[in-house]
Amino acid sequence: MKIRTLILGLCLSGILGAQEIPGGFSVRPANDASGKILTMEETILSRELSPARLWERWDGNGHLTVLMDGRWVTYDIATGDTSAYKASAPALKAFTEGQSLYLSRKDGSKVPVAVSEDPQITYGQFVSRNEFSIEDGIFWAPDSTRLAFYRKDESRVTTFPLLDITTRTGSLREIKYPMAGMDSENVQLGIYDLASGKTVYVKAEDFGYDRYLTNITWTPDASKVLIQVLDRSQKHLRLNAYDAATGDFIRTILTEDNDRYVEPQDPVWFLKGSNDTFIYRTDNRDGFRNLYLCNMEGGMQRLTCTDADVAYVANDGKYVWYTSAEVSPVENHLFRIRVKKNAAGWKFGKPERLTHETGWHEIRMSPDCRHFTDSWSSLTTPRVTDLCTSDGKTVRNILTAADPTLDHAYTEITLGTVKSADGRFDNYYRLIKPKDFDPSRKYPVIVYVYGGPHSQMVRNTFTGELRRWEMYMAQRGYLVYVQDNRGTQNRGAEFEKAIHRQCGQAEMADQMEGVKMLMQLPYVDKDRIGVHGWSYGGFMTISLITNYPEIFKVAVAGGPVIDWKWYEVMYGERYMDHPDVNPEGYALTSLINKAKDLKGKLLICQGAIDPVVLWEHSLSFVRECVKNNVQVDYFPYPCHEHNVSGKDRVHLHDKISMYFEDYL
Amino acid sequence: MKIRTLILGLCLSGILGAQEIPGGFSVRPANDASGKILTMEETILSRELSPARLWERWDGNGHLTVLMDGRWVTYDIATGDTSAYKASAPALKAFTEGQSLYLSRKDGSKVPVAVSEDPQITYGQFVSRNEFSIEDGIFWAPDSTRLAFYRKDESRVTTFPLLDITTRTGSLREIKYPMAGMDSENVQLGIYDLASGKTVYVKAEDFGYDRYLTNITWTPDASKVLIQVLDRSQKHLRLNAYDAATGDFIRTILTEDNDRYVEPQDPVWFLKGSNDTFIYRTDNRDGFRNLYLCNMEGGMQRLTCTDADVAYVANDGKYVWYTSAEVSPVENHLFRIRVKKNAAGWKFGKPERLTHETGWHEIRMSPDCRHFTDSWSSLTTPRVTDLCTSDGKTVRNILTAADPTLDHAYTEITLGTVKSADGRFDNYYRLIKPKDFDPSRKYPVIVYVYGGPHSQMVRNTFTGELRRWEMYMAQRGYLVYVQDNRGTQNRGAEFEKAIHRQCGQAEMADQMEGVKMLMQLPYVDKDRIGVHGWSYGGFMTISLITNYPEIFKVAVAGGPVIDWKWYEVMYGERYMDHPDVNPEGYALTSLINKAKDLKGKLLICQGAIDPVVLWEHSLSFVRECVKNNVQVDYFPYPCHEHNVSGKDRVHLHDKISMYFEDYL
């Protein structure tokens, strides 16, 4: 087997990325015969073990600036020379202070835009708990004459008490937490006119108090604001246009309805030079996230026609650039498509693929759409960054990273696929072999799982998205297995929405297909299978060990959701519906009901001031275990929130590892 | 060794309690060759494994009532017959509702005495967090014309937030917690006059806002109230008399001062028929808790003259009855002493010992002092209750309990002594041998420790105060060791106060003398020593494993004090002084400073709404371990307070046991 691996390794490096997925597998050969074993500090904290990365961005003026030695320098596209980057400060800046919104002028003066005197009202910050891709609460008009901003009213949202132990007598940190089925936020969009100093509020009267105002987009002429208004059930969306001067409703441009959910995640992108034509992405028309060319009157033509999720990159009025999963879900490639209007309407050219090397390509397009940078890696290629013209021709390679793991005892990593439980999909996995792998021996397995929406754990990137802790465990004699499942992203709507109303069920079924495959491998010790995950992965971990007590011997769950009724409205109700209309789904997935079924060893870890998955989740599970006289282990990370970050993460991973060492 | 034990066992049972402590040891022979092994449910929950007990009390009218089959019956002293007990309801009852105090008359009407409309003010309930033997807040005058009651003002006391997870969104339970060095309660004593319906407050102006009003005593004629007023530092006490009608200060009868602390724990007891002469107990005069005969003008004569702690039982004006540790600290015996006044003052007779059987005698004296019940047990005697005349003659045996452990595989229990680290005292221990003990083998040891003030873990009672969990572990192959140390009760002031300003230090030194003795035993596996304790014992446990990391391999600490600065004023400042005047003591004993020294396996358990030792303690220790990348284990008991009680206690002891099984 050693020889086979070696030969395969040689073959692979010869053909850059080896046998392609799908239809086979991709292998990164082991170099574990010599080389250093990871320490936990290296595993968690080392930057040297990641390939060198070029941090680059395009200036508005068409220059590429790159971060070198901690300073941003301007990179000359023609010569490759660099010079000091000169940033110009904007004349006006909007900023929030506390819960209020202000403008600061260049002269240092501060102009109030919206001042909150009520702790329940916040201006200018993100809303809806960052769902629907909402990251910010300030939206400048293209001509800077107006400023749109969110107003969030949490007066109906319940509070949750967190204990802060860093003060002498312990103090209370109360957070607002809108819990599934309970009263939620009210969001409004204000538009502040810089000339008059007046604010109007958009008259978004659809769907009542707790609807969502998502993906704010200004028309290029700054006359209108487009909002994707979503009802609380997340089954009905209206793309509405509003008058920026008055806030008046103009029209509904288009609507989306879905029995499960509509999840708007993108603004619209106006075609360069047009105030009427825009690109719109949805998975609600053809089952994949495709691009459509639309106009303000509701006209709509399908632009990308692939059975794969695509992502918009840029347009210059003539071409639209996008990346897509159509080559493979574990690869990301750039395409462009010609768009042209004639008397009969829009005509689209054939898509042209612009990136070709096997792997995952990240694209940054220059604002003038003349160049892009292509930063890519694959299982066997650490990282390459090329400067290209926008038709895909390479101008120059600007980074080829060395393999930083060469003198470390990295073991073999295999990417492959296993059928989903319903037989309709290939689920991708990575398998990390133990050090000094001997196929005649039996090895314990650790399944690392996340499994929740918006995630993709397996990609054809350098070391295949390996979390170094997996290699740490592989070097200590474990097979480590990581697999995506239905519900995760980049695989189309059917794949993603299969989990609706019963989170965890399809995901578990798919994970178990992977586990069954593992159990058929001659070198797997079927009696020593462990599972570990955090957050949604914590939920999956406890779901797996309680639903399959005969399979999993040891589990470590971090920050786990225990019952979706304790999770937040925006995310929770999308996948689980309102608790009143899906009581059977909530009951089926609640781990409170499963505590009595726990047989193996389970360690639960959680940040003691977790504001995302509240401490109530894991403490309630513990309480239920105690009630049923079921043994479970627990470890709180005081002063940590939803993740244990910084150097304390070393402690966490020592704890996790020791738990498997002690009990698996 | 088996044979020796057996012979010893036979000898012992022949002489009731065997060789006496001190000067030797006392052994309860094993019957582990046959018999049942304890289950954890039996260990924690069984009542059948305790010897039968007679619950008895004396009525005011001189009858003995006993609890039989769940009903109180009147026991005829002359014949031994029983008849139904008829309770008479009092004409007036004082009771609290919320934070207010009321009277209820026989006709059902409710009279407000002190009504609180401020959540920070409480009437009629205990104060000072139950220290100074304060268990109640209502004190009737002997003639029932007046009612004294505590008023507690907590407006300056900080609050501590507890998380209640039993509500859907988690809710906040805030408790008042006066923390060492911080602002404390203010206590007043009100006196309500039933005739006028008016209340006066006692003008207790000594020592400022946060002095303690302890051990309220009415004079028999109901004209005065005596209060033992203690300053916050607990170094200065004044026994003051106040006018019950006006609340005016009359005089200071006597004072106590001590560089370490004075701890008033008893009211005064007036000599029958006198309004002037009373019995007073203090350890501040001769180094032991002795009784003194005092008068209202401050006259004082020593009544008991033993170098041992005594406890007042009763007096009839001619005799004073008391129990004392003078035979042995692990035995409790009844004595009486004649008191007689002549022209020259009081004369006292010689003390007469009234109980003789080796063991621990609990005495209940009839109100007319003509009879008492003597309920006693020893290591080998399950329980005997005799009815006696007050000169010590047995009238009749009313209970001789059978040994309920006979068909259980109880192992050998030995009581013995080991010198304190300063060589001045004998510390008592019990040692439980493992099942099927073979002295040629090596056994792991579990030290169970409490070690804090007011405790006595080792007494010559049935099975020697064994906690059944010790037997559970002994039956599973462990030697279990429990020892008292300096700081614990019933051994005089020097022994008790040795811990002053550095809690844990003398205690650890003494425990280590026991451990050293164990390590010299040929059948002890020196590499497998564990320790377990709760509360003060949790503090001791973590102190031991961090101060002696080379000795202790495994430890389980429950509800541990981690730093005395987080503990309450009343208890904490008595032993540790104010943090401002003893920074070095607080620093020396703080386990925060010791977290980095932890080497062995430590599991910490705590009730997640512990209002006594706040959750901050153990979470802060965990945080410090994480900071130092030191591994520690933890388990919270949600919805439990300072102790895990009820059936969940089975889960706790399974957890503790499994931790030793896994790691020791």
Instruction: Closest CB to A636: pick one of B179, B636, B639.
Output: B636
- Residue of A525, A517, A556 lying closest to A540 (CA atoms): A556
Confidence of residue A552 (pLDDT cuts 50, 70, 90): very high
Q: State the average pLDDT for chain A.
A: 93
Comparing alpha-carbon positions, the chain B residue that sits nearest to A565 is: B168
Confidence of residue A11 (pLDDT cuts 50, 70, 90): very low
Instruction: Closest CB to A161: pick one of B163, B565, B608.
Output: B163
Confidence of residue A71 (pLDDT cuts 50, 70, 90): confident
- Residue A418: per-residue pLDDT: 96
Residues A522-543 have a mean pLDDT of 98
Give yes or no for residue A19 having a pLDDT over 70: no
Q: Whole-structure pTM over 0.90, yes or no?
A: yes
Confidence of residue A171 (pLDDT cuts 50, 70, 90): confident
Question: Which residues, at least 6 apart from A2, have a Cβ–Cβ distance to it below 8 Å?
Answer: none
Give yes or no for residue A4 having a pLDDT over 80: no
- Complex-level ipTM: 0.91
The answer to whether the CB atoms of A615 and B168 lie below 8 A apart is no
Beta-strand relationship, A524-534 and A443-448: parallel
Where residue B120 falls (left for φ over 0; alpha for ψ -120 to 50; beta otherwise) is alpha
Mutate to test the interface with A, among B39, B154, B163 (most CBs of A within 10 A): B163
- Residue of B185, B176, B98 lying closest to B134 (CA atoms): B185
Give dist(CA B128, CA B134) in Å, integer: 7
Instruction: Closest CB to A172: pick one of B172, B623, B635.
Output: B172
In tens, the pLDDT along B337-365 reads 999 998 888 999 999 999 999 999 999 99
Among A489-503, A633-647, B158-172, the minimum mean pLDDT is found in: B158-172
Strand locations in A202-308, DSSP E?
212-218, 224-230, 236-243, 249-257, 269-270, 277-282, 290-295, 300-302
Give dist(CA A231, CA A241) in Å, integer: 16
- Residue of B320, B325, B324 lying closest to B337 (CA atoms): B320
- Residue of A454, A525, A550, A595 lying closest to A130 (CA atoms): A454
In tens, the pLDDT along B81-102 reads 888 887 777 778 999 999 999 9
Q: Please indicate whether residue A88 or residue A313 has the higher confidence score (pLDDT).
A: A313
Give yes or no for residue A170 having a pLDDT over 90: no
B17-50+404-663 carries CATH number 3.30.70.660: no
CA pseudo-torsion sign A97, A99, A105, A109: negative
In tens, the pLDDT along A372-414 reads 999 999 999 999 999 999 999 999 999 999 999 999 999 999 9
In tens, the pLDDT along B188-233 reads 999 999 999 999 999 999 999 999 999 999 999 999 999 999 999 9
**A615 contact residues in B (CB cutoff 8 A):** 163, 165, 170
Give dist(CA A545, CA B567) in Å, integer: 40
Beta-strand relationship, A524-534 and A554-558: parallel
Nearest 5 degrees, angle CA A517-CA A520-CA A524? Answer: 100
- Residue A77: per-residue pLDDT: 84
Give yes or no for residue A490 having a pLDDT over 50: yes
Residues B570-592 have a mean pLDDT of 98
Instruction: Closest CB to B165: pick one of A174, A619, A658.
Output: A619
- pLDDT exceeding 90 applies to what percent of chain B? 86
**A565 contact residues in B (CB cutoff 8 A):** 168
Structural domain boundaries of chain A?
A: 20-50+404-663, 89-266
Give yes or no for residue B445 having a pLDDT over 80: yes
CATH classification code of A89-266? 2.140.10.30
Residue A500 distance to chain B (closest CA, Å): 23
Give dist(CA B405, CA A521) in Å, integer: 54
Give dist(CA B483, CA B540) in Å, integer: 12
Residues B235-242 have a mean pLDDT of 98
Residues A591-609 have a mean pLDDT of 97
Residue A619 distance to chain B (closest CA, Å): 6
Q: State the average pLDDT for chain B.
A: 93
Mutate to test the interface with B, among A616, A650, A654 (most CBs of B within 10 A): A616
Nearest 5 degrees, angle CA B421-CA B423-CA B428? Answer: 75
Tell whether B10 lies on the interface with A, counting CB pairs under 8 A: no
Q: Buried b / exposed e across A184-205, counting CB within 10 Å, b at 16+? A: bbbbbbbbbeeeeeebbebebe
**B620 contact residues in A (CB cutoff 8 A):** 165, 638
- pLDDT exceeding 70 applies to what percent of chain B? 96
Give yes or no for residue B457 having a pLDDT over 80: yes
DSSP A38: P
Instruction: Closest CB to A634: pick one of B635, B650, B662.
Output: B635
Give dist(CA B487, CA B492) in Å, integer: 10
Residues B435-463 have a mean pLDDT of 97
- Which architecture does CATH list for B90-265? 8 Propeller (2.140)
Contact A417, A453 (CB under 8 A): no
The answer to whether the CB atoms of A651 and B631 lie below 8 A apart is yes
CB contact residues (below 8 A), chain B span 166-195, against chain A? 168-172, 174, 177, 179, 182
- Residue B72: per-residue pLDDT: 84
Question: Which residue is it, tokens 């090397």?
Answer: A357
The CATH homologous superfamily to which domain A20-50+404-663 belongs is Alpha/Beta hydrolase fold, catalytic domain (3.40.50.1820)
- Residue B171: per-residue pLDDT: 87
The answer to whether the CB atoms of A631 and B655 lie below 8 A apart is yes
- Residue A24: per-residue pLDDT: 56
Tell whether B622 lies on the interface with A, counting CB pairs under 8 A: yes
- Residue B428: per-residue pLDDT: 97
Residues B273-296 have a mean pLDDT of 97
Nearest 5 degrees, angle CA A554-CA A558-CA A563? Answer: 100
- Residue B9: per-residue pLDDT: 30
Give yes or no for residue B603 having a pLDDT over 60: yes
CA-to-CA separations, B592 to A164, A572, B160, B216, B619, in angstroms, rounded: 17, 40, 20, 39, 10
DSSP string across B383-425: EEEEEEETTS-EEEEEEEE--TTTTB----EEEEEEE-TTSS-
Among A48-57, A592-601, B267-276, the minimum mean pLDDT is found in: A48-57
- Residue B59: per-residue pLDDT: 79
Residues A527-542 have a mean pLDDT of 98
Question: Which residue is it, tokens 């200071």?
Answer: B252
Contact A503, A575 (CB under 8 A): yes
**B645 contact residues in A (CB cutoff 8 A):** none
Distance, C-alpha B283 to centroid of its chain: 17
Q: Which helix (H) or strand (E) holds A645?
A: none
Give yes or no for residue A17 having a pLDDT over 50: no
Tokens of B132: 């100074």
**A635 contact residues in B (CB cutoff 8 A):** 622, 633-634
Which amino acids of A are annotated catalytic? 535, 610, 642
Residues B515-533 have a mean pLDDT of 97
- Residue B83: per-residue pLDDT: 85
Question: Which residues, at least 6 apart from B562, have a Cβ–Cβ distance to it below 8 Å?
Answer: B539, B542, B590, B591, B592, B617, B618, B620, B621
The answer to whether the CB atoms of A626 and B616 lie below 8 A apart is no
Residues B300-326 have a mean pLDDT of 97
H/E/C letters for each residue in A89-145?
Answer: CCCEEEEEECCEEEEEECCCCEEEEECCCCCCEEECCCCHHHCCCCCCCEEECCCCC
